[in-house]
């Protein structure tokens, strides 16, 4: 699938939003990628996850893991295509952790996936959880890399769509200075 075809999926499903947004990282942007709007369509989810799974098909992955919320469906579909189990981390008292009986066994080969990254903070937290469990992080796969490929996880990384979407520190946001629109936070970080 070509980049323009992939981008068109995000546009036609309403996933690429325009406005004034607070990203999970706390930074502000005039664009927001709401992957949940793509993931509501199983056919698109399957197509996009197939691209990610293809990057790791020969890497003998044992487990696919993601941060909740955005990465859960991505993890499930990538794991289904690789024929392995899917688990997810979630925040407990502000810290990413495995719950619900999920575990990473020592030596398991783990693929970390996410829907969107800007700074990669949530993915880095999941990588730390895997390493604390003595799992082997083989790679990171994301549907959308908003950093333009600048985030380095220290492992093989693949993105279905790489875009450089400008973002600003909250204290230096030109959208806030203009004051035309209030910033909104459409992400899931603050969910309890």
Number of domains comprising the chain = 1
* Domain CATH code at residue 56: 3.40.50.2020
**32 close to 186: Cβ distance less than 8 angstroms:** yes
Task: Report if residue 66 sits inside a domain.
Answer: yes
Give the three-class secondary structure for 8.
Answer: helix
Which pLDDT score, from 0 to 100, does residue 191 have? 43
Structural domain that includes position 153: 3-178
In this structure, the number of other CB atoms found within 10 A of the CB of residue 95 comes to 11
Task: Report if residue 38 sits inside a domain.
Answer: yes
Which pLDDT score, from 0 to 100, does residue 192 have? 41
Task: Report if residue 191 sits inside a domain.
Answer: no
Query: For residue 180, which phi and psi values (nearest 5 degrees)?
Result: -75, -35
Pick from 125, 127, 157, 128: which is nearest to 144 by CA? 157
Please give the Cα distance from 116 to 35 (Å, whole number).
7
pLDDT tens digits in sequence order for the chain, 192 residues long: 898 899 999 999 999 888 999 987 788 999 888 899 999 999 999 999 999 999 999 999 999 999 998 899 999 999 999 999 999 999 999 899 999 999 999 999 999 999 999 889 999 999 999 999 999 999 999 999 988 889 999 999 999 999 888 889 999 999 999 987 888 887 655 544
Name the pairing type of β-strands 28-33 and 167-168.
antiparallel
């Amino acid at each position: 699938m070509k980049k323009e075809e992939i981008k068109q999926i995000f546009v036609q499903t309403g996933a690429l939003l325009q406005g004034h947004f607070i990203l999970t990282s706390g930074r502000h942007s005039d664009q927001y990628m709401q992957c949940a709007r793509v993931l509501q369509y199983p056919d698109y989810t399957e197509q996009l996850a197939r691209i990610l799974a293809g990057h790791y098909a020969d890497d003998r992955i044992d487990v696919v893991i993601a941060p909740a919320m955005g990465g859960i469906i991505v993890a499930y579909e990538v794991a289904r295509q690789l024929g392995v189990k899917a688990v997810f981390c979630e925040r407990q008292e502000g810290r990413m952790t495995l719950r619900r009986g999920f575990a990473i066994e020592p030596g398991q080969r783990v693929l970390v996936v996410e829907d969107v990254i800007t700074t990669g903070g949530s993915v880095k937290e999941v990588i730390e959880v895997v390493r604390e469990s003595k799992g082997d992080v083989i790679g990171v796969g994301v549907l959308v890399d908003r950093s333009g490929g600048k985030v380095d996880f220290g492992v093989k990384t693949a993105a279905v769509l790489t875009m450089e979407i400008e973002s600003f520190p909250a204290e230096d946001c030109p959208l806030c200075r203009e004051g035309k629109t209030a910033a909104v936070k459409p992400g899931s970080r603050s969910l309890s």
